[in-house]
């Protein structure tokens, strides 16, 4: 290599070394600045040094831990302030995250970014510390408020009418998952936390209840009405007579135990029966049990009567009287085992 070529190469090396030194010196002398466009909890900090950003965030972040977390369960919502979880903002950690993009890469890459004014579109949540024990305690408190056992579908009688109580799923809070979600929310801009649930099915659902009760009889003694429900819907209402004072028709839940067409009357051994006590009266004019019999409580039952004028009154010796057409109609719909609820 000639002296001239050597001189050129040496000159170029000198220039490069000088430039490298200048870049290195610039990198050392220039305090890192947060990329333009960066925000922390909506507060612009782009272009600022760490100390400048800390001063700007001092006021806005002072109330950050007082913000309420919105714990949501469907339409229900529970508010819990982050401060109750011993939450605190770590400003230095937050600013380190904001500065990280400006400090990445080689000296040359950092210098070029600074010279052209690095821009970054980011809205950072403040770095937050908290008490894991307090978060777990919150999950347990919410579980106590939310957890419920499954409820089977069932029926009940209100004011002489059959009502359905719908089934309901059981709910259980997944504690560990909820704790993780709360912890994640403490370090995010979105204050909403969805409660993770585990659902349990009831044993008896609405359709199963209908299959269980294809027919259901409700006797409203005060209203002198017998109601027949088919598939838990009111199908027919019949006027009736019930037991007189001292011989009241027994209240409670029973079921049809036996059925007879043109029944024989086995007279109870009761004082009111007089000379007929213990006798069996075959079908005919002397037998007050007309057309049909549906026994539900030993000697008590539902039967037809010719004494239409007694319907709507307390006139029987404990049985339920119906008009003959009504009891015939009821009889053909009702099987042995059908529930009979007397209110």
Active site residues: 303, 319
Q: How far apart are the first and last CA of the chain?
A: 120
Q: State the Cα–Cα distance between residues 46 and 104, nearest whole angstrom.
A: 16
Task: Tell me how far apart the 2 most distant CA atoms of the chain are, in Å.
Answer: 152
Residue with tokens 């600013």: 95
> Under a CB-based contact definition with an 8 Å cutoff, are residues 250 and 342 in contact?
yes
Contact (CB, 8 A) for 186 and 85:
yes
User: What phi and psi, each to the nearest 5 degrees, are found at residue 253?
Assistant: -100, 125
With contact defined as beta carbons under 8 Å apart, do 216 and 226 qualify?
Answer: no
Per residue, the 3-state secondary structure of 95-152, as one string, reads: HHHHHHHHHCCCHHHHHHHHHHCCEEEEEECCCEECCHHHHHHHHHHHHHHHCECCEC
Residues 90 and 129 sit within 8 Å (Cβ to Cβ): yes
- Site of tokens 């290195």: 24
The DSSP element (H or E) to which 267 belongs, if any, is: none
The angle at the Cα of 111, spanning 109 to 117, to the nearest 5 degrees, equals 100
Give the number of other Cβ atoms within 10 Å of residue 234's Cβ.
Answer: 13
């Amino acid at each position: 290599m000639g002296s001239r070529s050597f001189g050129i190469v040496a000159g170029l090396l000198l220039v490069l070394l000088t430039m490298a030194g200048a870049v290195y010196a610039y990198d050392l002398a220039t305090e890192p600045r947060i990329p333009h466009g960066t925000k922390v909890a909506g507060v612009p900090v782009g272009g600022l040094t760490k100390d400048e950003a800390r001063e700007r965030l001092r006021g806005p972040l002072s109330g950050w831990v007082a913000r309420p977390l919105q714990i949501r369960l469907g339409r229900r919502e529970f508010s819990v302030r982050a401060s109750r979880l011993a939450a605190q903002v770590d400003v230095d950690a937050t600013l380190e995250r904001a500065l990280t993009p400006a400090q990445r890469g080689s000296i040359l890459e950092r210098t070029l970014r600074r010279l052209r004014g690095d821009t970054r579109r980011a809205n950072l949540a403040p770095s937050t510390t908290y008490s894991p024990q307090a978060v777990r305690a919150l999950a347990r408190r919410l579980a106590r408020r939310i957890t419920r056992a499954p409820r089977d579908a069932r029926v009940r009688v209100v004011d002489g009418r059959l009502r359905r109580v719908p089934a309901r799923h059981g709910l259980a809070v997944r504690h560990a998952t909820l704790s993780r979600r709360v912890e994640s929310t403490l370090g995010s801009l979105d204050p909403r936390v969805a409660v993770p649930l585990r659902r349990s099915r009831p044993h008896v659902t609405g359709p199963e209840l209908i299959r269980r009760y294809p027919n259901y009889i409700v006797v409203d003694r005060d209203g002198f009405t017998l109601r027949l429900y088919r598939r838990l819907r009111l199908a027919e209402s019949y006027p009736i007579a019930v037991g007189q004072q001292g011989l009241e028709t027994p209240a409670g839940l029973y079921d049809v135990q036996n059925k007879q067409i043109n029944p024989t009357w086995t007279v109870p051994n009761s004082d009111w029966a007089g000379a007929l006590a213990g006798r069996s009266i075959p079908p005919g004019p002397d037998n007050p049990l007309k057309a049909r019999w549906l026994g539900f409580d030993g000697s008590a039952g539902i039967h037809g009567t010719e004494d239409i004028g007694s319907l709507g009154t307390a006139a029987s010796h404990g049985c339920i009287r119906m008009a003959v057409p009504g009891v015939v109609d009821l009889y053909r719909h009702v099987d042995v085992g059908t529930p009979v609820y007397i209110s």
